[in-house]
Amino acid sequence: MSRQIPAALSMDGKRAIVTGAASGIGKATAIALADLGAELVLVDLSAMDATRDEVQAMGATCSVMQGDLTDDAFLASLFAGPRVHAVAHCAGILMRTPWDEDPNWNERFHRMMDVNVRVPLQITQAAMNHMGEHGSGNIVLVGSVAGKTGGTSLNTPPDYSASKGAVHALVKWMSRKAISKGVLVNAVAPGPVETPMTRGNNMGPNLPRGRMGKAEELAWPIAFLCTEGAGNMSGAILDVNGGAFVG
């Protein structure tokens, strides 16, 4: 029996940009969108051969753009080609050294804000302008439970919590600006997730579900927000954190 994707969830004939696609949530999101039929543009600072090979093996059309999203020219180039229907911006950074033990705290803080706040703002603005010319589009950012609660432990760095709180505020601000153009801006707020960025973190036993989240558990809500199934959602921040935050 062949499987048929409901029309509201199908990404057939639609082009989606996925940032942070080399690993973790970005890679899992690319795979989920490929499963829905999307044509993919994979973006990361690191090589994305493994992700590209996996989605192409699924039958997805895929191109790769490797570069630094803090480079304004590179970011703008993402929207210089054919129409983009959806953007899943999964790229971000987390510093592992405790902030009050980091001798380069000032430089680190500015780097965190550059990658985790300025880039989401600029990629959303660029995507909104591009999509607005076509009358529709979906943009999804990745916030964090840390942006709502300050973090799931005392080890959560304050610069990371602040940057993700800023992402949540930007989603609400950009949603109001984009909706008149037919463009929807939403986000997910994960708790701790098993990714290369959190490798070695043993927070699972202290979380409500007794484990950390899996990248795939974030990927499908993100993929949903890229589809017409989320056609009346704008400014939403979905809690996908295994009960780490309820409110």
Task: List residues with catalytic annotation.
Answer: 160
How far, in Å, CA of 42 to CA of 52, rounded? 8
How far, in Å, CA of 2 to CA of 233, rounded? 30
Beta carbons within 8 Å of 205's beta carbon, 6+ residues apart: none
DSSP string, the chain: ------TTT--TT-EEEEESTTSHHHHHHHHHHHHTT-EEEEEESS--HHHHHHHHHTT--EEEEES-TTSHHHHHHTTSSS---EEEE-------S-GGG-TTHHHHHHHHHIIIIIHHHHHHHHHHHHHHTTT-EEEEEE--THHHHS-SSTTS-HHHHHHHHHHHHHHHHHHHHHGGGTEEEEEEEE-SEESGGGTT---GGGSTTSS-EEHHHHHHHHHHHTSGGGTT--S-EEEESTTS---
